[in-house]
A = this chain, B = another copy of it.
Amino acid sequence: MEQVKKLREQTGISILECKKAVEEACGDLTKANEILRKKGFEKAKSKSSRTTNQGVIGSYIHSNKKIGVLVEVGCETDFVARNEEFQQLVKDITLQIAAMNPRYVSEKDIPAEVIEKEKEIYREQLKKSGKPASIVEKIIEGKLTKFYSDVCLLYQPFFKDEKTTFEKIIAEKIHKTGENIVIKRFVRYQLGEEF
């Protein structure tokens, strides 16, 4: 877990991907860094501060007209925005939102009180386990990572290919286009739901 945190600090890439890389590298940080670089994440990270004023607003309405999605995906130039592959990416994102119902783009969008509430629940669940506090905290970290991959659009399994995520897919597109690409916001309406 220490290695995962260090790698995350170094790269800014999600805990989920850092964890995978550390595991694959058997705890070797240099190797883990290499793995992330091979996956295109490092390139993505290096572009992540570049502003994305261009892009596409995409939508998807389910055939029964009872679920609808609106999303803004930013890139750097109109050239990339008009590119068919970019537009397919936007379409896949809308389908993912419709199918998998994420609540946030990334963990950065989760309100602190929601994370606190989750931690509280985990702590309560682990109270009777008799495990030492340091272990409990590690289990909580693990559960939280799982929670992120349940509720964050970037870390959910891609519904068309469970082995990948939009964090990974977007990193690949950034690598390919040489432009920063960002899912800026989204909304999902389901007919008759409370809001």
**Which residues of A are at the interface with B, using a C-beta cutoff of 8 A?**
53-62, 65-70, 72, 74, 81, 87, 184-185, 187, 189-192, 195
- List the B side residues contacting A189 at CB < 8 Å: 57, 70, 72, 185
A-B residue pairs in contact (CB < 8 Å), sample of 29: A53-B191, A54-B191, A54-B192, A55-B191, A55-B192, A56-B65, A56-B191, A57-B61, A57-B66, A57-B67, A57-B190, A57-B191, A58-B61, A58-B65, A58-B68, A59-B59, A59-B70, A65-B81, A68-B70, A68-B72, A69-B70, A70-B70, A70-B189, A72-B191, A74-B191, A74-B192, A184-B195, A185-B195, A187-B187
Main secondary structure, interface of A, reads: strand
* Copies of this protein, total: 2
Docked complex Cα distance between A190 and B187 (Å): 14
Give the distance in Å from the alpha carbon of A191 to the alpha carbon of B184 in the complex. 10
Chain B residues with CB under 8 Å of A57's CB are 61-62, 65-68, 189-191
Residues of B within 8 A of A55 (CB): 191-192
Given A69-B70, A70-B68, A192 and B53 touching (CB < 8 A)? yes
Whole-angstrom distance between the Cβ of A105 and the nearest chain B Cβ: 12
A53, A66, A87 pick with most chain B CB within 10 angstroms: A66
